[in-house]
Amino acid sequence: MRCISADSKNRLYFYLGLLVIYAVLAIAPAFAQQDATDVDYRPFPKIGSRSAAWIAAQLHLLFGSFILGVPMFAVVIEFVGMRTKDKRYDKMAQEFIKLCMGAFSTTALLGGVLVFVLIWCYPQVMNRLTGIFGPTMIFYVILFFGETFTLYLYSYGWDRMQGAVSKMWHLFLGVLLNVFGTAIMFVSNAWLTYQTSPAIMGPDHKPIALHDEETGEFIGTLWQAVNNYTWMPVNIHRLIGNIAFGGAIVGAYSAFRFLVAKTKEDRAHYDWMGYTGNFIALCGLIPLPFAGYWLGREIYMFNNTMGINMMGSLFSWLFIIQAVMIGVLFIGANYYLWSGMTRIKGGEIYARYRPYMIAIIVLCVAIWMTPRTLIMSPKEMAAMGGTNHPLVGFFGLMTAKNTAVNIIILATFLSFLFYRRSGKAPTVGWRKIGNISIAAVLGLAVAAIIAIGLAGFKVESDFRVNVLTPVQVLIALAVMIAVTVTDLVMYRKAMRSNDINWGQMTDRSQYVLILLAITFTSLMGLMGYARSGLRENWHIFGVMPDTSPDAFTPLLGDAVNVIAVIMVIFFALVGFIFWIGLWGDKKKAERATVTAEVGVGDD
């Protein structure tokens, strides 16, 4: 086994030292400036204040999302391990938490960097926010202590707390860790959502401003500022998003470990771990659009200009890019499931459905990413016969997109159903009727969803929004629940043709896991830009204008470049943290080998 030599370590420290010296030299001129204690803004050297705050905030958010998402499913997996008495689950959950531990300190570090950047570059904004949210910041610190110590106890106590009673306590610590983590996120969400929507919800969903319109003075209560218009939708959206993101990053980590694994056991272990990560990411991905819908609707209801900017103006094309990314997520997740069937004997019988399902999903993704708002020259418009294409233009409407999304979700569900069935044969007498029923229900559901989608072109939009769209979603959800229940009963005493050959996966499938993780991260970066950009030239929307040189929403083309830089830094940091973990594991394994050899020699 290869280990890191002392020379390599020295070189690493040398380069890190150089990096730190460069960073200090780069920002030194800013400190040499004349004293400015009563200013609105201070420029961040080289890259500007906005980019500095943006990069720090997005990196903090990505790491935060990971360390909040992972414990949620780690504790569930630990619970599954306890119930099934399968130690593999317990080990996997522990490995997840190890990853979390590595990322935890980086999250805190980036949080500190963000606060320093904000205080330095935007002193008046921070002064204003601390004036309103001061008590919550103390609460945040208390929660942070709680989370830190709970995480330490949960992680370091894993091996010690393995007895029947101790395990229960350990699980309780896991739950407590999630409570602290979620509470921390809710508190910090209050600050940023307040900047977007400094109002509370009044009668009939009407916003009630929390500021005196003349002086801008805050006239609400602390709780009103916290419980602002978009607070809860963002909370729920991020909660689900964290699970999906955590699953995707775990999947990518497993894929990396799979690709560099030297032994069959390692490949099998990381294949299984990657599958679990992808499954968790899918579980989060499916409800995420619904939570996003709620958030978008609340933004619109808070301020219709903001809503129009989001979907019909400033950010309309951003949502086309978002559709591309979500399309990649669904196609990638399905591809991974289909690849997974190859490691199950008996899974090949479902291969014949793949071309059709690929066609359906690709077609639906194409509909989803069809733009409605086109920017064209008069010549182009004349050539097309209007502002929208006579046929394809209809796909740009929400009724077509909603239909496509529901069908994608059902197709993905069907992929998972096939995966679950692979290598099993039902023994119940009514299996034929059961299969026909499931096929009929799915077929009817798709037909109904399409019929409702077609009706959506004809009816008033409020009827479509308030009745037809929810009915489409309910049909999809109801069918998924009904089919899952039927399938569970049908396959309860199924004959297993063979076990899953973990580790027998193509390298391509592992690249898909990495693709999913990068896509999730890109998506979060992109939507972070949209959420923050919606405020336009306001620090606090409608209350505190941004008068800095960066008081405008950058072009999408410029924003994605910043996001690309953030992505590179994020994955470099994640890679470094994972590598450090890998390095520690190797050292530990080496010591264990040496000890074992010594032990054998003693005998």
Partner 1 sequence: MSNTITKIASLVVMIVSFIAYVAKAPAFPIASENLLPWSTWFFISTIANIILWQRVMKLLAFALLVIWFYAFAASIVPETSTARVILDDIPRTEEAFVEAGEAIFNGKGKCNTCHTLDPSAPKGRCPDLSDIGVLAGTRQPGVSTKDYLIESTYEPHKFLVPGYGNIMPPVWKPPISLTELEIETVIAFLQFQGGEVDLTKFEPPVDIGSAITEVEVLPPLLLGDVERGKRVFVDGAKCIACHAVAGIEQPAGQTLDDGVEVVAAPDLTDIASLNSMRYIEESIVKPNALIVSGYGSVTVKTNGASIQGTLTFQDEEKITVRVKDAGGIETEQTLLLSELDPEPIEELTNLKDQGYFWIEVNTADTGTKVRGDLADEDAENVIISVDGETQTISKSNVQVQATIIDFDGNEIVGELVSENEDEVTLMVDGEEQVIDTFDIDEGPIYGRALGKRLSVTSPMPDNFPLLLSVADMSDLLAYLASLTGATEETVAEAGASAAEAEDAAE
Region 235-264 residues binding partner 1, contact defined as CB under 8 A? 237-238, 241, 256, 259-260
Cβ-proximal residues to 323 (8 Å cutoff; 6+ apart), any chain: 365, 368, 369, 401
User: Exposed, middle or buried: residue 236 (CB in 10 Å: 0-12, 13-18, 19+)?
Assistant: middle
**Residue 122: C-alpha distances to residues 44, 192, 340 (Å):** 10, 14, 50
Least distance (Å) between residue 460 CB and partner 1: 5
Of 7, 38, 159, 214, which one interacts with partner 1 (CB under 8 A)? 214
Residue 373 φ/ψ, nearest 5 degrees: -90, 110
307 contributes a contact to partner 1 by CB under 8 A: yes
Whichever of 111 and 241 has its CB closer to partner 1, that residue is: 241
Q: How far is the CB of 187 from partner 1 (least distance, A)?
A: 19
Instruction: Considering the complex, state which of residue 144 and residue 511 has its C-beta at the smaller distance from partner 1.
Output: 511
Site for partner 1 in 341-400 (CB under 8 A): 374-375, 378, 381, 386-387, 398
Kindly indicate which of the ranges 114-122, 437-445, 482-490, 560-568 contains the residues binding partner 1, using the contact rule CB under 8 A. 560-568
Which residues, numbered 82-101, are part of the site for partner 1 (CB under 8 A)?
A: none
- Tell me if 157 sits within 8 A of 170, measured CB to CB: yes
Choose between 344 and 517: whose C-beta lies nearer to partner 1.
Answer: 517
Q: Pick from 267, 269, 343, 401: which binds partner 1 (CB under 8 A)? A: 401
Region class of 503: left (phi > 0), else alpha (psi between -120 and 50), else beta: left
Stretch that binds partner 1, among 95-103, 104-112, 157-165, 458-466 (CB under 8 A): 458-466
Half-sphere exposure of 333 (CA within 13 A, CB side): 32
| Residue entry with tokens 């054998």 | 600
Residue 221 found at the interface with partner 1 (CB under 8 A) = no
Nearer to partner 1 among residue 44 and residue 571 (C-beta): 571
Figure out which of the listed residues 322, 370, 403, 532 binds partner 1, where binding follows CB under 8 A: 322
Strands 207-209 and 199-201: antiparallel
Q: If binding is defined by CB under 8 A, does position 321 make contact with partner 1?
A: yes
CB of 75 to partner 1, least distance (A): 24
- Note whether 462 binds partner 1 by CB under 8 A: yes
When asked if residue 1 is in the footprint of partner 1 (CB under 8 A), the reply is no
Residues of span 518-557 touching partner 1 by CB under 8 A: 518-519, 522-524, 526-528, 530-531, 536-538, 541-542, 545, 551-557
Beta carbon of residue 435, minimum distance to partner 1 (angstroms, whole number): 33
Under the criterion CB under 8 A, does residue 458 sit at the interface with partner 1? no
What is the secondary structure of 466-493 as a DSSP string? IIIHHHHHHHHHHHHHHHHHHHHHHTTT
Task: Scan for tokens 């049909």, then name that residue.
Answer: 475
The one-character DSSP state at 218 is B
Closest Cα to residue 549, out of 30, 41, 196?
41
Q: Which residues in 27-66 contact partner 1 (CB under 8 A)?
A: none
Euclidean distance between CA atoms 94 and 81, whole angstroms: 11
Q: Which residues in the 163-202 window bind partner 1 by CB under 8 A? A: 202
Q: Where are the alpha helices (DSSP H) in 122-230?
A: 123-156, 164-196, 222-226
With CB under 8 A as the contact rule, which of the stretches 167-175, 318-326, 431-439, 483-491 interacts with partner 1?
318-326
- Which residue lies nearer to partner 1 by CB, 323 or 364? 323
Site string for partner 1, 264-303 (x = CB under 8 A): ------------------------xx-xxx-xxx-xxx--
**For residues 199, 201, 204 and 205, what is the CA-based torsion angle, rounded to 10 degrees?**
80
Closest CA to 445 of 420, 463, 471, 419: 471
* φ, ψ (nearest 5 deg) of residue 211: -130, 150
